[in-house]
Structure 1
Amino acid sequence: MALNEGGHREIGGQLFGEQLAPSQFLVTNLTVQARRGSYTRFIVDLFQAARDAMRFFDSTQHDYTRHNYIGEWHSHPSFKVRPSGTDLTTMRELVRDPGFKGTFAVLMIVRLDADCIAAAAWNFDPLGREGVAQLEIEND
Protein backbone atom coordinates (compact mmCIF):
# COMPACT_ATOMS: atom_id res chain seq x y z
CA MET A 1 0.00 0.00 0.00
CA ALA A 2 1.35 3.39 -1.03
CA LEU A 3 0.56 5.05 2.31
CA ASN A 4 2.65 2.46 4.15
CA GLU A 5 5.52 2.89 1.71
CA GLY A 6 5.37 6.67 2.08
CA GLY A 7 6.04 6.39 5.80
CA HIS A 8 6.34 9.85 7.35
CA ARG A 9 6.80 11.52 3.97
CA GLU A 10 3.78 12.97 2.15
CA ILE A 11 2.70 11.23 -1.04
CA GLY A 12 -0.02 12.09 -3.52
CA GLY A 13 -1.35 12.19 -7.03
CA GLN A 14 -4.41 12.97 -9.12
CA LEU A 15 -8.06 11.96 -9.01
CA PHE A 16 -9.87 11.08 -12.24
CA GLY A 17 -13.37 9.78 -12.59
CA GLU A 18 -16.81 9.56 -14.06
CA GLN A 19 -19.76 11.90 -13.64
CA LEU A 20 -22.74 9.86 -12.44
CA ALA A 21 -25.20 12.75 -12.02
CA PRO A 22 -24.95 16.52 -11.56
CA SER A 23 -22.55 17.14 -8.66
CA GLN A 24 -21.98 13.40 -8.19
CA PHE A 25 -18.70 11.81 -9.28
CA LEU A 26 -17.09 8.42 -8.90
CA VAL A 27 -13.31 8.37 -8.65
CA THR A 28 -12.28 5.59 -11.01
CA ASN A 29 -8.56 6.33 -11.16
CA LEU A 30 -6.29 7.54 -8.37
CA THR A 31 -2.70 8.04 -9.44
CA VAL A 32 0.27 7.76 -7.10
CA GLN A 33 3.24 9.95 -7.91
CA ALA A 34 6.54 8.09 -7.90
CA ARG A 35 8.45 10.90 -6.20
CA ARG A 36 7.53 11.35 -2.54
CA GLY A 37 7.33 14.64 -0.74
CA SER A 38 8.93 15.63 2.51
CA TYR A 39 7.72 15.33 6.09
CA THR A 40 5.74 18.58 5.69
CA ARG A 41 5.00 18.98 1.98
CA PHE A 42 4.01 17.23 -1.22
CA ILE A 43 5.07 18.75 -4.54
CA VAL A 44 3.40 17.65 -7.76
CA ASP A 45 5.66 16.28 -10.48
CA LEU A 46 4.11 18.07 -13.47
CA PHE A 47 5.65 15.69 -16.01
CA GLN A 48 4.23 12.60 -14.33
CA ALA A 49 0.89 14.36 -13.81
CA ALA A 50 0.67 15.15 -17.54
CA ARG A 51 1.56 11.55 -18.48
CA ASP A 52 -0.98 10.15 -16.03
CA ALA A 53 -3.67 12.50 -17.35
CA MET A 54 -3.02 11.55 -20.97
CA ARG A 55 -3.10 7.85 -20.06
CA PHE A 56 -6.50 8.35 -18.38
CA PHE A 57 -7.95 10.41 -21.24
CA ASP A 58 -6.71 7.91 -23.82
CA SER A 59 -8.35 5.07 -21.86
CA THR A 60 -11.69 6.92 -21.82
CA GLN A 61 -11.51 7.91 -25.52
CA HIS A 62 -11.32 11.59 -24.49
CA ASP A 63 -15.00 11.62 -23.47
CA TYR A 64 -14.52 14.72 -21.31
CA THR A 65 -18.23 15.20 -20.59
CA ARG A 66 -18.38 11.84 -18.81
CA HIS A 67 -14.77 11.07 -17.72
CA ASN A 68 -12.51 13.83 -16.48
CA TYR A 69 -10.03 15.21 -13.96
CA ILE A 70 -11.61 15.58 -10.53
CA GLY A 71 -8.74 16.90 -8.47
CA GLU A 72 -5.71 16.15 -6.35
CA TRP A 73 -4.96 14.04 -3.32
CA HIS A 74 -2.10 13.77 -0.90
CA SER A 75 -1.34 12.36 2.51
CA HIS A 76 -0.77 14.06 5.82
CA PRO A 77 1.01 11.28 7.73
CA SER A 78 2.13 13.64 10.49
CA PHE A 79 -0.73 16.16 10.55
CA LYS A 80 -4.51 16.37 10.72
CA VAL A 81 -6.61 15.47 7.69
CA ARG A 82 -7.21 19.14 6.92
CA PRO A 83 -5.76 21.39 4.23
CA SER A 84 -2.80 23.50 5.22
CA GLY A 85 -2.48 27.13 4.18
CA THR A 86 -0.23 25.98 1.33
CA ASP A 87 -2.85 23.40 0.27
CA LEU A 88 -5.56 26.06 0.17
CA THR A 89 -3.41 28.49 -1.79
CA THR A 90 -2.38 25.80 -4.29
CA MET A 91 -5.98 24.72 -4.97
CA ARG A 92 -7.22 28.32 -5.27
CA GLU A 93 -4.46 29.10 -7.76
CA LEU A 94 -5.23 25.91 -9.71
CA VAL A 95 -8.92 26.67 -10.26
CA ARG A 96 -8.35 30.38 -10.95
CA ASP A 97 -5.62 29.76 -13.53
CA PRO A 98 -6.84 30.97 -16.96
CA GLY A 99 -5.73 27.63 -18.44
CA PHE A 100 -7.93 25.62 -16.05
CA LYS A 101 -10.75 24.12 -18.10
CA GLY A 102 -12.84 22.63 -15.28
CA THR A 103 -15.67 24.01 -13.22
CA PHE A 104 -14.26 22.69 -9.95
CA ALA A 105 -11.41 20.70 -8.41
CA VAL A 106 -11.41 18.51 -5.32
CA LEU A 107 -8.60 18.17 -2.81
CA MET A 108 -8.64 14.93 -0.83
CA ILE A 109 -6.30 14.50 2.12
CA VAL A 110 -5.70 11.08 3.64
CA ARG A 111 -3.85 9.66 6.61
CA LEU A 112 -3.11 6.11 7.64
CA ASP A 113 -3.77 5.55 11.36
CA ALA A 114 -2.74 2.00 12.22
CA ASP A 115 -4.83 0.00 9.74
CA CYS A 116 -7.55 2.63 9.25
CA ILE A 117 -7.61 5.32 6.58
CA ALA A 118 -8.86 8.75 7.60
CA ALA A 119 -9.87 10.93 4.67
CA ALA A 120 -11.62 14.21 3.95
CA ALA A 121 -12.21 16.27 0.81
CA TRP A 122 -12.78 19.89 -0.14
CA ASN A 123 -14.24 21.41 -3.30
CA PHE A 124 -12.86 24.55 -4.98
CA ASP A 125 -14.25 26.47 -7.96
CA PRO A 126 -13.02 29.38 -10.12
CA LEU A 127 -15.59 31.77 -8.57
CA GLY A 128 -14.02 31.36 -5.13
CA ARG A 129 -16.63 29.03 -3.68
CA GLU A 130 -15.14 26.30 -1.57
CA GLY A 131 -16.17 23.93 1.13
CA VAL A 132 -16.19 20.41 2.44
CA ALA A 133 -17.10 17.81 -0.18
CA GLN A 134 -19.10 14.74 0.74
CA LEU A 135 -16.82 11.74 0.52
CA GLU A 136 -17.96 8.14 0.44
CA ILE A 137 -15.33 5.41 0.42
CA GLU A 138 -16.11 1.94 -0.85
CA ASN A 139 -14.06 -0.84 0.69
CA ASP A 140 -13.25 -3.51 -1.90
Structure 2
Amino acid sequence: MRITVAPDQTGKLIAALGRAGVRETGGQLFGEQLAPSDFRVTHLTVQARPGTVSRFVVDLMQAARDAIAFFHRTNHTYGRYNYIGEWHSHPSFAVQPSGTDLDTMRNLVRDPRFAGNFAVLMITKIDGAALSAAAWVFDPRGQESTVNLEVEVEQGH
Protein backbone atom coordinates (compact mmCIF):
# COMPACT_ATOMS: atom_id res chain seq x y z
CA MET A 1 0.00 0.00 0.00
CA ARG A 2 1.15 3.51 -0.79
CA ILE A 3 0.01 6.64 1.05
CA THR A 4 1.03 10.08 -0.19
CA VAL A 5 0.48 13.12 2.02
CA ALA A 6 -0.33 16.17 -0.10
CA PRO A 7 2.01 19.17 0.38
CA ASP A 8 -0.63 21.45 1.95
CA GLN A 9 -1.47 18.70 4.44
CA THR A 10 2.22 18.25 5.27
CA GLY A 11 2.34 21.97 6.09
CA LYS A 12 -0.70 21.58 8.32
CA LEU A 13 0.94 18.60 10.02
CA ILE A 14 4.22 20.43 10.67
CA ALA A 15 2.34 23.43 12.11
CA ALA A 16 0.35 21.15 14.45
CA LEU A 17 3.53 19.43 15.64
CA GLY A 18 5.11 22.82 16.32
CA ARG A 19 2.10 24.00 18.33
CA ALA A 20 1.99 20.79 20.38
CA GLY A 21 5.69 20.91 21.26
CA VAL A 22 6.54 18.06 23.65
CA ARG A 23 2.89 16.99 23.93
CA GLU A 24 1.46 14.33 21.63
CA THR A 25 -1.12 15.48 19.14
CA GLY A 26 -3.05 13.81 16.35
CA GLY A 27 -6.12 13.48 14.23
CA GLN A 28 -7.57 11.63 11.26
CA LEU A 29 -6.43 11.03 7.69
CA PHE A 30 -8.93 11.38 4.84
CA GLY A 31 -8.30 11.31 1.16
CA GLU A 32 -8.66 10.06 -2.35
CA GLN A 33 -8.11 6.61 -3.76
CA LEU A 34 -5.93 7.01 -6.85
CA ALA A 35 -5.65 3.31 -7.73
CA PRO A 36 -5.97 0.01 -5.85
CA SER A 37 -3.81 0.31 -2.70
CA ASP A 38 -2.75 3.86 -3.66
CA PHE A 39 -4.15 6.76 -1.62
CA ARG A 40 -3.48 10.49 -1.29
CA VAL A 41 -4.17 12.27 2.00
CA THR A 42 -6.09 15.37 0.91
CA HIS A 43 -7.44 16.24 4.36
CA LEU A 44 -5.67 15.78 7.67
CA THR A 45 -7.53 16.79 10.82
CA VAL A 46 -5.88 18.09 13.96
CA GLN A 47 -7.62 17.43 17.24
CA ALA A 48 -8.20 20.60 19.23
CA ARG A 49 -7.25 18.97 22.52
CA PRO A 50 -3.65 17.71 22.57
CA GLY A 51 -2.42 14.80 24.61
CA THR A 52 0.26 14.57 27.26
CA VAL A 53 4.00 14.07 26.93
CA SER A 54 3.43 10.32 26.60
CA ARG A 55 -0.16 9.78 25.45
CA PHE A 56 -2.71 10.88 22.88
CA VAL A 57 -6.40 10.08 23.31
CA VAL A 58 -8.84 10.58 20.43
CA ASP A 59 -11.75 12.93 21.07
CA LEU A 60 -14.50 10.78 19.54
CA MET A 61 -16.97 13.67 19.27
CA GLN A 62 -14.54 15.83 17.31
CA ALA A 63 -13.52 12.84 15.17
CA ALA A 64 -17.16 12.21 14.27
CA ARG A 65 -17.76 15.88 13.42
CA ASP A 66 -14.60 15.99 11.28
CA ALA A 67 -15.62 12.84 9.40
CA ILE A 68 -19.14 14.14 8.72
CA ALA A 69 -17.70 17.43 7.42
CA PHE A 70 -15.25 15.61 5.11
CA PHE A 71 -17.94 13.33 3.67
CA HIS A 72 -20.26 16.30 3.14
CA ARG A 73 -17.50 18.24 1.28
CA THR A 74 -16.82 15.22 -0.96
CA ASN A 75 -20.54 14.63 -1.63
CA HIS A 76 -20.41 11.21 0.07
CA THR A 77 -18.43 9.79 -2.87
CA TYR A 78 -17.10 6.95 -0.69
CA GLY A 79 -15.64 4.96 -3.58
CA ARG A 80 -13.24 7.80 -4.32
CA TYR A 81 -12.94 9.85 -1.10
CA ASN A 82 -12.88 8.17 2.27
CA TYR A 83 -11.37 7.73 5.71
CA ILE A 84 -7.80 6.42 5.50
CA GLY A 85 -6.85 6.25 9.15
CA GLU A 86 -5.36 7.97 12.16
CA TRP A 87 -2.21 9.93 12.88
CA HIS A 88 -0.49 11.08 16.02
CA SER A 89 2.89 12.30 17.15
CA HIS A 90 5.61 10.78 19.28
CA PRO A 91 7.67 13.90 20.11
CA SER A 92 9.63 12.10 22.84
CA PHE A 93 9.69 8.58 21.42
CA ALA A 94 10.58 6.64 18.27
CA VAL A 95 8.35 6.87 15.22
CA GLN A 96 7.08 3.35 15.93
CA PRO A 97 3.69 2.21 17.26
CA SER A 98 3.55 1.51 20.98
CA GLY A 99 1.73 -1.50 22.37
CA THR A 100 -1.21 0.81 23.11
CA ASP A 101 -1.14 2.11 19.52
CA LEU A 102 -1.21 -1.45 18.14
CA ASP A 103 -4.07 -2.48 20.43
CA THR A 104 -6.06 0.64 19.52
CA MET A 105 -5.74 0.06 15.78
CA ARG A 106 -6.47 -3.67 16.05
CA ASN A 107 -9.59 -2.94 18.09
CA LEU A 108 -10.68 -0.24 15.63
CA VAL A 109 -10.60 -2.48 12.56
CA ARG A 110 -12.12 -5.48 14.38
CA ASP A 111 -15.05 -3.49 15.75
CA PRO A 112 -18.25 -4.76 14.07
CA ARG A 113 -19.27 -1.13 13.43
CA PHE A 114 -16.06 -0.45 11.45
CA ALA A 115 -17.17 -0.04 7.82
CA GLY A 116 -13.75 0.03 6.14
CA ASN A 117 -11.44 -2.58 4.68
CA PHE A 118 -8.38 -1.17 6.49
CA ALA A 119 -7.11 1.69 8.63
CA VAL A 120 -3.69 3.31 8.51
CA LEU A 121 -1.77 4.57 11.51
CA MET A 122 0.78 7.29 10.77
CA ILE A 123 3.18 8.33 13.52
CA THR A 124 5.15 11.56 13.21
CA LYS A 125 7.62 13.80 14.98
CA ILE A 126 9.88 16.74 14.33
CA ASP A 127 13.40 15.34 14.50
CA GLY A 128 15.77 18.29 14.68
CA ALA A 129 14.60 20.41 11.76
CA ALA A 130 13.17 17.50 9.77
CA LEU A 131 9.82 15.75 9.79
CA SER A 132 10.00 12.02 10.53
CA ALA A 133 6.98 9.89 9.70
CA ALA A 134 6.12 6.23 9.21
CA ALA A 135 2.86 4.37 8.67
CA TRP A 136 1.30 0.94 9.11
CA VAL A 137 -1.90 -0.59 7.77
CA PHE A 138 -4.29 -2.80 9.76
CA ASP A 139 -7.20 -4.81 8.41
CA PRO A 140 -10.11 -6.67 10.04
CA ARG A 141 -8.60 -10.08 9.12
CA GLY A 142 -5.58 -9.35 11.32
CA GLN A 143 -3.15 -8.47 8.53
CA GLU A 144 -0.66 -5.73 9.42
CA SER A 145 2.19 -4.28 7.42
CA THR A 146 4.23 -1.16 6.89
CA VAL A 147 3.04 1.36 4.33
CA ASN A 148 5.06 3.02 1.60
CA LEU A 149 4.64 6.57 2.91
CA GLU A 150 5.48 9.59 0.76
CA VAL A 151 5.30 12.96 2.47
CA GLU A 152 5.32 15.79 -0.06
CA VAL A 153 6.46 19.29 0.92
CA GLU A 154 5.41 22.58 -0.59
CA GLN A 155 7.90 24.17 -2.98
CA GLY A 156 10.27 26.54 -1.21
CA HIS A 157 10.29 24.56 2.06
Q: 2:103 aligns with which of 57, 80, 89?
A: 89
Q: 1:123 aligns with which of 121, 132, 137?
A: 137
Q: Secondary structure at the match of 1:65?
A: coil
Gaps of 5+ in 1: none
1:58 aligns with 2:72: yes
- 1:55-88 deviation digits (Å, cap 9, x = unpaired): 1000000000100000000000000000000000
1:68 aligns with 2:82: yes
1:77, 1:137 → 2: CA distance? 18
1:41, 1:94 → 2: CA distance? 18
Q: TM-score, normalised by structure 1?
A: 0.99
Letter in 2 for 1:67: Y
Greater relative contact order (Cα < 8 A, sep 6+): 2
Q: Which residue of 2 aligns with 1:3?
A: 17
Q: TM-score, normalised by structure 2?
A: 0.88
Letter in 1 for 2:119: A
Letter in 2 for 1:28: T
1:44 aligns with 2:94: no
Q: Which residue of 2 aligns with 1:139?
A: 153
1:113, 1:4 → 2: CA distance? 11
Q: Which residue of 2 aligns with 1:32?
A: 46
Deviation, structure 1 residue 113: 1.4
Q: Secondary structure at the match of 2:150?
A: coil
1:122, 1:55 → 2: CA distance? 25
